Amino acid sequence: MADSKETQRGNSELVTKDGKTTISNEVVAKIVALATKEIAGVHEMGTLGLSDTLTGLAQRASKIGQSTQGVNVEVGEREVAVDVKIVVEYGVSIPQLAAAIRRNLASRVNTMTGLTVKEVNIDVTGLYFAEESKDKPVERPEPRVA
């Protein structure tokens, strides 16, 4: 297996006799976000709170963290520690969902980067009720002409 080491820029370097491959923390965070979203029962990443919504809007406007909202990774020499924030769909078993997320993240990160996921901390920040979005009346503006 190839040796790897953390660089000063916060990237992981996979070094072999044929050369080195550098994987940025942002790439690992994107893999984590996508692998988390693949699991049924995860409604969205991040939180439903106003401050996080504003932060998410600011990130989207600047295109920083666009697809990694709710994800924090710490990449070491051969291992990755992951923190994710998720909103769960109502009715889903949170312990089973967490186990599925951990399995999928470990598999995806290892397959794509060669790094081992040491720990995955999951923060369930909200609960999504599908009925709430269906029951909300659609606001229609008053007609401008009669």
User: Residue 3: its pLDDT value, please?
Assistant: 44
Q: Where are the domains of the chain?
A: 25-135
- Give CA–CA dist 108/39, Å, rounded: 12
What's the mean per-residue pLDDT of the chain? 80
Domain 25-135, CATH: 3.30.70.1350
Q: What does pTM read for this prediction? A: 0.72
Q: Which residue has the higher pLDDT, 89 or 19?
A: 89
pLDDT tens digits, one per residue of 106-118:
999 999 999 999 9
Burial class of 73 by CB neighbour count within 10 A (0 to 12, 13 to 18, 19+): buried
User: How far is the CA of 43 from the CAs of 106, 117, 135, 145, in angstroms?
Assistant: 20, 23, 18, 40
